[in-house]
């Protein structure tokens, strides 16, 4: 297999693009895909301050690296979830990446700063940990962005993640979620803009990017992911992709082009009914926001 660009030996073959790339041109391909994604969806503008949600995994570290390579002013935020060794290792990976490359990493620790952790929240609510975890992440990334003057929160969701979430949402016809499933959620009162610049890159590409760029990321998966529905959807999608490369990209990009706009109204309606949380001031549909309610229950436990 040869590099599509220079005809030298390829180090990676991307079936979806029916192309191989040498190391140099693969890194260029990744930057190009991010640049295109940002431009197509008007995710970021020059001079904006970007807060990258950093987990220490391949996607978030590659995202941070790519944004800086493309000239964006991007800092990281690491959230300590208190999930045993997994959290210790992921925090180390995020800190050493930032330290080695001289980048600014903010940190919030759920236990020290908010009095609970994810395993405790799961026990207190008798629900799957990912619900409390996702809620805490959304709330805190947004809050830190607003408080510290960032214009945008960028997350490392890649094409495989988006395809799996989309399949889940379609299987249940979750109109509200489908309306919000977009690589850009615009800023509204109390919410920073949220963007997903890795939308055009797959999981395998992100792992290869890290290896080729010498980024040490945490390979172990979160132990609480077991039983997470998205893992099942990913397996199904991988089987389809294996049979016909390009299926995931067609599924996600076709949705964004042709179906998502039909659902956008449902999401807007929800936003119109928002007031302010009596405890923290964040936008919420109730008196007290879901994060403050979770914190209250989990820190009592
Ligand atoms: S960290 Fe949190 Fe994930 Fe672990 S508890 Fe679930 S949501 S699986 S990306
Ligand atoms: Zn090449
Ligand atoms: Zn609140």
pLDDT at 271: 62
- What letters, b where the CB count within 10 A reaches 16 and e where it falls short, cover 227-255? ebebeebbeebbeebeeeeebbbebbbeb
Nearest to 196 by CA among 256, 126, 147: 256
CA distances (Å), origin 83, targets 207, 213, 222, 224, 239: 23, 28, 8, 8, 31
| Helix 23-40 vs helix 203-213: crossing angle, to nearest 10 | 130
- Indicate the helix (H) or strand (E) that contains 50: strand 49-54
pLDDT at 300: 72
> Does residue 130 contact residue 164 with C-beta atoms inside 8 Å?
no
pLDDT at 230: 84
Is CATH 3.10.105.10 the right assignment for the domain spanning 35-262?
no
Asked if residue 224 has its Cβ within 6 Å of ligand 1, the reply is yes
Query: Which is the closest atom of ligand 1 to the Cα of 223?
Result: 4
Q: What is the pLDDT of residue 225?
A: 85
Query: CA-CA distance, 124 to 102, in Å (whole number)?
Result: 39
Nearest CA to ligand 1 atom 1: 222
Ligand nearest to the CA of residue 296, numbered in listed order: 3
Please list the residues that pair with 76 across neighbouring strands.
Answer: 52, 105
| Closest CA to ligand 1's atom 7 | 130
Q: Report strand pairing: 193-195 vs 184-185.
A: antiparallel
Using a 6 Å cutoff on CB, does residue 118 contact ligand 1?
yes
H helix runs in 148-285, sequence order = 159-171, 175-180, 203-213, 229-243, 247-254, 260-272
What is the model's pLDDT at position 265?
81
What is the distance between the alpha carbons of residues 297 and 301, in angstroms, rounded to a whole number? 7
Closest ligand (CA of 283) = 3
- Pocket flag, ligand 1, residue 165 (CB < 6 Å): no
Which residue, judged by its Cα, is nearest atom 6 of ligand 1?
130
Task: Give per-10-residue mean pLDDT for the chain (301 aa).
Answer: 97 96 98 98 96 98 98 98 97 98 98 97 92 96 97 98 97 94 93 97 98 97 83 95 97 97 78 85 92 92 59
Q: How many A from CA of 139 to the centre of ligand 3?
A: 9
Q: How far apart are CA 60 and CA 64, in angstroms?
A: 6
CA-based end-to-end distance of the chain: 57
- What single string gives the DSSP state of each residue in 143-171? HHHHHTT-SEEE----HHHHHHHHHHHHH
Closest CA to 256 of 157, 180, 158: 180
Q: How many CA atoms lie within 13 A of 180 on its CB side?
A: 12
Buried b / exposed e across 62-94, counting CB within 10 Å, b at 16+?
bbbbbbbeeebebbbbbbbbbbeebbeebbebb
Q: Is 128 in the pocket of ligand 1 (CB under 6 A)?
A: no
Q: Is the CB of 227 under 6 A from ligand 1?
A: no
Counting atoms of ligand 1 from 1, which one is nearest the CA of 122? 5
Residue 276 has what pLDDT?
A: 92
- The pLDDT, as a whole number, for residue 107 is 98
Looking at the CA of 114, name the nearest ligand.
3
């Amino acid at each position: 297999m040869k590099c599509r660009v220079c005809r030298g030996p390829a180090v990676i073959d991307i079936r979806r693009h029916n192309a191989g790339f040498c190391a140099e041109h693969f890194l260029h391909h990744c930057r190009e895909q991010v640049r295109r994604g940002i431009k197509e969806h008007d995710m970021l503008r020059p001079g904006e301050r970007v807060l990258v949600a950093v987990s220490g995994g391949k996607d978030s570290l590659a995202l941070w690296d790519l944004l800086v390579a493309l000239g964006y002013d991007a800092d990281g935020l690491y959230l300590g979830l208190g999930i045993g060794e997994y959290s210790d290792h992921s925090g180390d990976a995020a800190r050493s990446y930032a330290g080695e490359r001289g980048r600014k990493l903010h940190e919030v620790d759920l236990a020290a700063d908010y009095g609970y952790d994810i395993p405790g929240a799961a026990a207190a609510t008798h629900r799957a940990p990912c619900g409390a975890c996702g809620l805490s992440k959304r709330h805190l990334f947004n809050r830190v962005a607003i408080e510290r003057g960032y214009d945008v929160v960028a997350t490392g969701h890649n094409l495989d993640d988006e395809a799996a979430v989309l399949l889940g949402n379609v299987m249940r016809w979750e109109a509200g979620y489908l309306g919000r499933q977009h690589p850009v959620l615009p800023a509204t009162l109390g919410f920073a803009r949220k963007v997903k610049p890795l939308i055009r890159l797959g999981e395998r590409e992100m792992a290869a990017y890290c290896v080729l760029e010498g980024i040490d990321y945490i390979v172990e998966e979160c132990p609480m992911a077991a039983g997470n529905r998205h893992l099942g959807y990913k397996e199904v999608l991988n089987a389809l992709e294996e049979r016909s490369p390009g299926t995931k990209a067609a599924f996600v990009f076709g949705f964004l082009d042709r179906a998502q706009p039909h659902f956008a109204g449902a999401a807007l309606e929800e936003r119109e009914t928002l007031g302010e949380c009596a405890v923290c001031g964040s936008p919420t549909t109730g008196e007290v926001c879901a994060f403050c309610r979770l914190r209250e229950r989990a820190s009592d436990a």
